[in-house]
Structure 1
Amino acid sequence: MNFKEVAKDILAALGGKDNINAAAHCATRLRLVLEDEGKVDQEKLDSMDVVKGTFSTGGQYQIIIGTGTVNEVYKELRKLTELSDMSTSDVKSAGAKKMNPLQRFVKMLSDIFVPIIPAIVAGGLLMGINNLLTAQDLFIEGQSIVEANPGMVDLAALINTFANAAFVFLPILIGFSATQRFGGNGYLGATLGMLMVHPDLLNGWNYGATLVSGEIPVWTIFGFEIEKIGYQGTVLPVLAASFILAKIETTLRKYVPAALDILLTPLLSIFVTGLLTFTVVGPLTRSAGNLLTDGLVWLYDSTGFVGGALFGLAYAPIVITGMHHSFIAVETQLLADIAKTGGSFIFVIAAMSNVAQGAATLAVFATSRDKKQKGTASAAGISALLGITEPAMFGINLKLRYPFIGAIVGAGVASAFVTLFKTKAIALGAAGIPGIISIRPDTILFYVIGMLISFAVAFIVTFILAKREVKKGQKVA
C-alpha cells in the first residue's frame, strides 16, 4: 500500500489541509477536528478501500482504517498537513471547543468516570464471583457452593471484602478524578473523599435506619449541630464537593503569596470545602441522589417491559448523540447502592442494543454484493457482539439506514424481555457477549436468552428490509 497516496486521497476528501485543525490516531482510527465537516466528500471516502467507515462524535471526525495501517497513514497525513504530533487527549480538547453546553457536560462526566471504571469493574466482578459461591440452587440443588464446601466460607468472605472496597471508598476515587478534571489537585480531592468516608462518621448505608430511630450523632459547634454522616457509595455529593474544592483551591492560588501557598492553600481548601460538604452540599446532594436512584428504580419497576422496550429502542439513538456517557454516573450509583437497586438495568439494555447492532451488520454481510462492504461488515459485526459498536453503527448501519432500523427493533424486543425478568448487572464490563460475567447469577439465563432474541430479531428484520430494498431497485450495499 502506498501510504502517501492514501493520505493524499483522504486529505483531498476532507477538504484540504486548511480544513484540519487537529489530528491524532488511536489503535484503529484517525481522530480529526475539522474546521467545517460540511466540506467532507463522504462518497469519495466511502469509495476508498482503506477506509472501513467514518463517524462524527464529540467534536471529532473519525475515520476507521484498522490496526497498523492507521499509524502509517497518520504519519503521511501529518507531513502533508504540517501539523505537530498530537495525542488523542489533545484532539479531544480541541474537539471539545466545538461542542454545545450539553455535549461538554456529558464529556465532563465521561472524563471523570472512565478512569475509575477498572476499579468499579474489578469490584463488581468480584461481587459476582462471591454470588456464584453463595447463591443457592445455582450449581447444587438446595445448596450453595459454600454450604456444600464449608472450607470455602472464609474464601467467600475474603472475596466479598475485596469486592466491597471500591464501593465503600468510592468517594475517594471520584474525589481524585473529579477534582483533577475540574482543575484542582487530585490528591486534595482524594483527601476530601477520605473525609467523607472517615470511620468516625456514621456509615452512610445506615443513615435511613438511624434517621428513623432519631440517634444520629452530631458535632455541636457554637450552638450549631452538624450531622456526622458518612457518604459511602455516593456519587453526587462528592462530585459537587470536588467542584467546590477545585474552585476554592484555584482561587486561593491567585491571591495567597507564593511563600505561604503550600501551607495555606491546602489547609483552607480542605477546611472550607469540608465544612460546606457536611453542612450544605452533602445533605442536599445526598437527597437529590436518593431521589434519582429511587426514581429510576420506580420507573424500571413500574413501567415493566414497556419501559424496557422504549429504552431499548432509544438506546442506539442516544449513543449517536454521545449522551450515553452520562449513564456511567447513574450506573455507578446503582451499583454502589446494589442492596436497594439489585444492580444496573442500564448495562443489560446497552448489551441488548450492542448485540442487535452486531446482528444487523452481519445481516448486511449476508445480503451484500459489495466485497469491501462485506469485509467491513463481518469485522464490525463481530466487534459489536463483543461490545464495541462504533464500526458497526457508524460504518454500516447508519450509512445504509435500514440495518439501523432492524437493530433498534431487535434491541427493543430483547430489552422488553430482559426487563420482564428483572435482569440486572452487578458490575460494569463489555456490554455484549462477554458481559455474561457481569450479570447477577440468578438472571444469567435470561441475559443469554435476551441476547439470542436481540440477535435473531435484528438479523431477520434487517434481512427482510434488505430484500425489500432490492425489490425497489435500490442499491443494498
Structure 2
Amino acid sequence: MDYKSTAKDILEALGGKENVTAAAHCATRLRLVVNDESQIDQKQLDEMEIVKGTFSTGGQYQIILGPGIVNEVYKDFAELTDISDMSTSEVSSAGSKKMNPIQRFVKMLSDIFVPIIPAIVAGGLLMGLNNLLTAPDFFMEGKSLIDAYPNMADLAALINTFANAAFVFLPILIGFSATKRFGGNPYLGATLGMLMVHPDLLNGYGYANAVASGEVPIWKIFGFGIEKVGYQGTVLPVLASSFILAKLETLLRRRVPSVLDNLVTPLLSIFITGILTFIIVGPLTRGAGNAVTDGLVWLYDSAGFIGGGLFGLLYAPIVITGMHHSFLAVETQLLADVVKTGGSFIFPIAAMSNVAQGAATLAVLLLTTNAKLKGVASAAGISALLGITEPAMFGVNLKLRYPFFGAIVGAAVGSAFIALFKVKAIALGAAGLPGIISIKPGMMILYIIGMVITFAVAFAVTILLGKRDAKKNGVTTS
C-alpha cells in the first residue's frame, strides 16, 4: 500500500495543510483538529478504500483507518503537515478550545475518570467472581460453591479483599487523577485522598449508622467540633477537594518565594485543603452525592420499563454528543456503594445499545452489494457486539441513517426488558457480549435474554427499513 499517496489524498480531502492545526493517532484513528470542517470533502474521504469511517466529536475530526495502517499513514501525514510528536491528549486539548462550556465539563469528567477505569474494572470483575463463589442457587440448588466446598471459603475472602480495594481507596485514585487534571501536583492529590480514607477516621460506610446512634466521633479544637469521618467510596467530595487543592497550590506557587516553595507550598496546600474538606466541603458534597445517587436509583427503580426504554433509545444519540462520558462519575458512585445501590443500571443499558448498533450493522452487511461497505460492516458489526461501537456507528449506521434508527429501536426494546427486571452490573467492562461477567449473578440469564431481544429487534427493523429505502440509499436486498 502506498501510504504516502494515501496521506496526500486524505490531506487534500481535509482542505489542505492550512486547514489542519493538530494531528495525532490512537490505535485505529487519525485524530485531527481542523480550522473549518466545512472545507472537508466528505465524499472524497468516503470513496477512499482505506477509510473505514469518519466522525466529529469533542472538537476533533477523526478518521478510522484500522490498527497498523493508521501508524503508517500518520508518519507521512505528519511529514506533509509539518505536525509531529503530538500526543492524543495534546490534540484533545486543542480540540477542547472549540467546545462549548457543557462539552468542556463533560471532557473534564472524562479526563479524570477514564484513566482510573482499569482499576475499577479489575475490582468490579473480581467482585463478580466473588459473587459467583458465594451466590446460592447459581451452580447448585440451595447452596453456593463455598457451601458445597468449604475449603474454598478463604479463596472467596481473598478475592473479596482484592475486589474491595479499588472502591475502599477510591478517593486516592480520584484525588491523583483529578488534581492532575486541575493543574496541581497529582501526588498531593493522592495524599489528600489518603487523608480522606485514613484508618483513624470512622469508615464512611458506617456513617449513617453512627448518626442514627449518635456516636459520630469528633475532633474538639478550640471548642469547635469536626467530625472524624472518612470518605470511602465517594466521588463528589474528593472531586471538589482536589479542585480546591490544585487551585490553592497554583496560587501559593505564585506567591511563595522560590527558596521556600518546596517546603511551604505542599504543607499549606494539604493542611488548608484538609481543614476545608472536613469542615465544609466534605459534609456538603457527601450529602449532595448521596442525594444524586439515591435519586437516580429511585428513578430507575420507579420508572420501570418505560424509563429504561427511553434511556436505551437515547443512549446512542448521547454517545454522538460525547455526553456519555459524564456517566462515568455516576457509575463510579453506583459501583462504589453497590451494597446500597445494587449496582449500576447504566452499564447494562449501554451494552444493549452497543449490541443494537452491531446488529444493525450486520443487517447492512446482508443488504448491501457494495464491496467496501460489506468489508467495513462485517468487521464493525462484530466489534460493536464486543463493545467497540465507533466503526459501526460512525462508519456505517449514521452514514446510511436507517440502520441507526433500527439500532436505537432495538436498544429501546432490549433496555425496557432489562429495566423491567432491574438488571444491574456490579462492575465496568466491555459493554456488549463479554459484559456478562460484569452482571450480578442472579441476573445474568436476564441480561442474555435482553441481548437476544435487542439483537433480533435491531436486525429486523434495520432489514425492514433497508428494504423500504433500498433505492433511496443505494443498497439492494439480498
TM-score band, normalised by the shorter chain? over 0.9
Aligned partner of 1:305 in structure 2 is 305
CA distance in 2, matches of 1:85, 1:218: 53
Alignment of 1:284-299 (within 5 A): 284-299=284-299
CA distance in 2, matches of 1:249, 1:50: 48
The answer on 1:445 being equivalent to 2:454 is no
CA distance in 1, matches of 2:51, 2:472: 26
The answer on 1:107 being equivalent to 2:110 is no
Aligned partner of 2:382 in structure 1 is 382
Counterpart amino acid of residue 475 in structure 2: V
Unaligned 5+ segments in structure 2 are none
Alignment of 1:198-213 (within 5 A): 198-213=198-213
Aligned partner of 1:78 in structure 2 is 78
Aligned partner of 2:346 in structure 1 is 346
Alignment of 1:252-291 (within 5 A): 252-291=252-291
Aligned partner of 1:28 in structure 2 is 28
Aligned partner of 1:426 in structure 2 is 426
CA distance in 2, matches of 1:373, 1:202: 59
CA positional deviation for 1:356: 0.1
SS of the residue corresponding to residue 32 of structure 1 reads strand
SS of the residue corresponding to residue 308 of structure 1 reads helix
CA positional deviation for 1:365: 0.5
CA positional deviation for 1:473: 4.8
Aligned partner of 1:133 in structure 2 is 133
8 Å CA contact 2:400–2:473 kept in 1: the answer is no
Q: Normalization by structure 2: what TM-score?
A: 0.98
Unaligned 5+ segments in structure 1 are none
Counterpart amino acid of residue 251 in structure 1: L
Aligned partner of 1:196 in structure 2 is 196
CA positional deviation for 1:68: 1.7
Aligned partner of 1:415 in structure 2 is 415
CA distance in 1, matches of 2:85, 2:248: 35
The answer on 1:476 being equivalent to 2:475 is yes
Aligned partner of 2:45 in structure 1 is 45
CA distance in 2, matches of 1:423, 1:440: 8
CA positional deviation for 1:85: 2.9
8 Å CA contact 2:313–2:411 kept in 1: the answer is yes
The answer on 1:64 being equivalent to 2:84 is no
Aligned partner of 2:319 in structure 1 is 319
Counterpart amino acid of residue 174 in structure 2: I
CA distance in 2, matches of 1:246, 1:7: 41
CA distance in 2, matches of 1:217, 1:362: 59
CA positional deviation for 1:57: 0.9
The answer on 1:17 being equivalent to 2:21 is no
SS of the residue corresponding to residue 399 of structure 1 reads helix
SS of the residue corresponding to residue 200 of structure 1 reads coil
CA distance in 2, matches of 1:55, 1:313: 21
Counterpart amino acid of residue 9 in structure 1: D
CA positional deviation for 1:474: 4.3
4+ long deviations beyond 4 Å: none
- Alpha-carbon displacement from aligned partner over 1:175-198 (angstroms, at most 9, x marks no partner): 111111111111111111111111
CA distance in 2, matches of 1:192, 1:238: 8
CA distance in 2, matches of 1:94, 1:333: 30
Aligned partner of 2:465 in structure 1 is 465
Matched residues, number? 476
CA distance in 2, matches of 1:219, 1:85: 52
Aligned partner of 2:158 in structure 1 is 158
The answer on 1:455 being equivalent to 2:450 is no
Counterpart amino acid of residue 76 in structure 1: D
CA positional deviation for 1:213: 1.2
Aligned partner of 2:238 in structure 1 is 238
- Alpha-carbon displacement from aligned partner over 1:373-415 (angstroms, at most 9, x marks no partner): 0100110100000000001001111111100000000000000
SS of the residue corresponding to residue 93 of structure 1 reads helix
CA distance in 2, matches of 1:364, 1:185: 50
CA distance in 1, matches of 2:457, 2:316: 16
* Percent identity (aligned): 76
SS of the residue corresponding to residue 431 of structure 1 reads coil
8 Å CA contact 2:184–2:249 kept in 1: the answer is yes
CA distance in 2, matches of 1:83, 1:146: 59
Aligned partner of 1:116 in structure 2 is 116
CA distance in 2, matches of 1:251, 1:333: 31
Counterpart amino acid of residue 52 in structure 2: K
CA distance in 1, matches of 2:12, 2:153: 66
